Amino acid sequence: MRVSGTQASNTKDEGALIARIRAGDESAMSELYDGYSGIVYGVALRVLGDTTAAEDVLQEVFLQLWRNPQAFSADRGRLAPWLAVIARNRAIDLLRKRPFEEDISELPIAAKVNLEDESARRLAMEKVRGVLAGLPQEQRKSLEMAFFEGMTHSEIAGKTGEPLGTVKTRIRAGLLALRKAFA
Amino acid sequence: MKDHAQYADALALYAMDALDDRQELAELEAHLGTCGECRRELEALRADTALLALSATGPQPPQRARLRLMQAVGAEPRRAEMKKPKLVMGRLQPRWLSLVPMAAAIVLAIASFTLLREVQGLKDRNASLRGRIDDLSKQNEHARVMLELLRNPKAEQLTLVSTANRPQPQMKTFYDREKGRVLLFASNAAQLPDDKVYELWLIPMNGAAPMPAGTFSPDNSGGGMIMHQFDTQGIQAKIFAVTIEPRGGSQTPTMPIVMAPAS
């Protein structure tokens, strides 16, 4: 299964879309929303478990990008992973009742996997789910508690009864297993 | 001092904002400030978390979310990308060198004048945009309050009809007792002389004096609307009624009541 694509052409397309948004082209914003709203909404909904709150995060993330399109640099990452991470962080802020403080321009991501079009994302999603299903249950749970529930490693250790060091090692190993699957 | 490998596990937690040991956090951030290799690994770990996020994709947002976003985008102040001025490089011929200071002064004067005009233009535009934002905010607040009242299941609704034998005129009120707000919609209201208006009254249940609740003049088709905020909340209304009053409204109703609840 191949999910990676030609990085140069994809970053060029994303760069062109962002350039139009920087120029104030509302139709470009509409295209961006159609292409990427699913990933933003999906992760926000998973974190918050509430459709209204997930819609608020969706609105916030895209409006931030419209107001500050310079925040995304095609040279520093790809749009889909960048949006996914920002959506997750915004959703966790909301979950923990924290104000939105993070500067979205301070999130460089070295993403190598092409998630630009819907079919590539679907393939990648299946692959990720497969990797997660193959992880030991404790490891998958620790990873999900940190990422989707916004728990710190101490909180995870407290909840699972595992030593702090074990939790830390498990989480990193889980992320590396995902990376390896797309190498 | 720790090496990269010793920071590896903490870095994965840091990528998810899950590292809560303050000392470890401070050490790691200090190390990140000086270590390019670890910064690159942090960026790679963020990409790994984005893959994790993918496992949550599937549900699609409702259509209204798209509409809401595009309306918000449309309501944002227009902006155009700043254009960078082109830098032109050249070489001055020796015979013009003596004129350079004068030419520079002229260019500077013209540039200053142009800049001043641009600054003034930008100030004007800024003031205009601020005014527009204020207007939109007011409109938005007005619409929000109306919508809230219309959607409020506790709002008390009454349909007022003509007390005379003339069909068609109809007025509908929406009263939110807790917030002390009333909204009235009128249709087919009879036209009034220029010096008269329709005035809505809240007749309290406790027998207190009728309370004025706003006035309106019908448009050409007999339509009209009132949205009124009472100074006091929680007043139980016996009925709402409408009278004809001098333009500007009255503090006590002038009989007769021209519109009252149907039942």
User: CA-CA distance, B179 to B64, in Å (whole number)?
Assistant: 28
Q: Which string of DSSP letters, residue by residue, matches A28-83?
A: HHHHHHHHHHHHHHHHHHHHH--HHHHHHHHHHHHHHHHH-GGG--TTT--HHHHH
Residue A10 pLDDT: 53
A45 and B56 in contact by Cβ < 8 A? yes
pLDDT for A105 equals 59
Which of A101-133 are b and which e, b meaning 16 or more Cβ less than 10 Å from the residue's Cβ? eeebeebbbbbebbbbeeebbeebbebbeebbe
Residue B198: the pLDDT is: 95
The reply to whether ipTM tops 0.90 is no
CB proximity B61 to A under 8 Å: yes
Q: How far is CA A135 from CA A128, A156, B52, B58, in A?
A: 11, 17, 13, 21
Task: Give the residue from A131, A120, A60 showing the smallest Cα distance to A93.
Answer: A60
Whether residues A38 and B61 touch (CB distance < 8 A) is answered with yes
Report the residue of A31, A41, A113, A122 to disrupt the B interface, i.e. the one with the largest count of B CBs within 10 Å: A41
Query: What region does B207 belong to: left with phi over 0, alpha with psi -120 to 50, or beta?
Result: left
State residue B49's pLDDT score: 92
Which residues of chain B from 12 to 31 reach within 8 Å of chain A, CB to CB?
12-13, 15-21
Q: Spell out the alpha helix ranges (H) of chain B.
A: 4-15, 22-32, 36-54, 63-75, 100-151
What is the distance between the alpha carbons of residues B32 and B86, in angstroms, rounded to a whole number?
38
The predicted structure's pLDDT at residue A87: 93
**Is the pLDDT reported for residue B202 higher than 90?**
yes
State the pLDDT at residue A136. 94
The answer to whether A21 and A65 are in contact (CB under 8 A) is yes
Of A59, A92, A171, the CB nearest to B13: A171
Measure B178 CA to nearest chain A CA, in Å.
Answer: 25
pTM for the full predicted model: 0.56
Q: What is the pLDDT of residue A1?
A: 35
The CA distance from A65 to the nearest CA of chain B, in Å, is: 10
Find the residue in A nearest to B50 (Cα). A81
B226-to-A81, A175, B12, B54, B186 alpha-carbon distances in Å:
50, 60, 59, 50, 9
Nearest to B184 by CA among B147, B215, B148: B215
Give the mean model confidence (pLDDT) for residues A9-19: 72
Q: Which of B8, B20, B53 is opposite residue A43, by nearest beta carbon?
A: B53
Give the containing element (helix H, strand E) for A133: helix A118-134
**Residue of B46, B82, B129, B133 to mutate, testing the A interface (most A Cβ within 10 Å of its Cβ):** B46
* Of B97 and A176, more confident: A176
pLDDT averaged over every residue in chain B: 81
**Contact between A178 and B51 (Cβ < 8 Å):** yes
Q: Cβ contact (<8 Å) for B59 and A41? A: yes
Look at residues A74, A91, A76 and name the one whose alpha carbon lies nearest to residue A40.
A91
Query: For residue B86, is pLDDT > 60?
Result: no
Strand partners, B198: B216, B244
Measure CB to CB from residue B43 to each of A47, A55, A110 and give the nearest one. Answer: A110
> pLDDT tens digit string along B16-64?
989 988 888 888 888 888 888 888 899 899 989 999 998 888 889 999 9
Nearest chain B CA: its distance from A161 CA (Å): 17
* pLDDT for the residue numbered B123: 75
Helix, strand, or coil here: A147?
helix
Across the interface, whether the CB atoms of B21 and A146 are under 8 A apart is answered no
B56 touches chain A (CB under 8 A): yes
Tell me, what DSSP letter sits at residue B158?
E
Name the residue of chain B whose CA is nearest to A152's CA.
B18
Task: Kindly report the number of other CB atoms within 10 A of residue B51's CB atom.
Answer: 24
Chain A interface test: which of B6, B48, B70 (most A C-beta within 10 Å) = B48
H or E, element range at B182: strand B181-187
The beta-carbon neighbor of B48 closest among A30, A132, A178 is A178
Which one has a higher pLDDT value, B84 or B200? B200
Which pairs from A45-48 meet CB under 8 Å and 24+ separation? A45/B56, A45/B59, A46/A148, A46/B56, A47/A88, A47/A91, A47/A92, A47/A95, A47/A148, A47/A149, A47/A150, A47/B56, A48/A91, A48/A94, A48/A95
- Find the residue in A nearest to B12 (Cα): A172
* Separation in Å, CA of A110 to nearest CA in chain B: 5
- Residue in the block written with tokens 């006035």: B215
Tell me if residue B117 falls in helix, strand or coil: helix
Residue B240 in tokens: 């709402």
Q: Is B167's pLDDT higher than 60?
A: no
Residues of A in contact with B21 (CB under 8 A): 153-154
Mean pLDDT of chain A: 84
What's the whole-number mean pLDDT along residues B181-191? 90
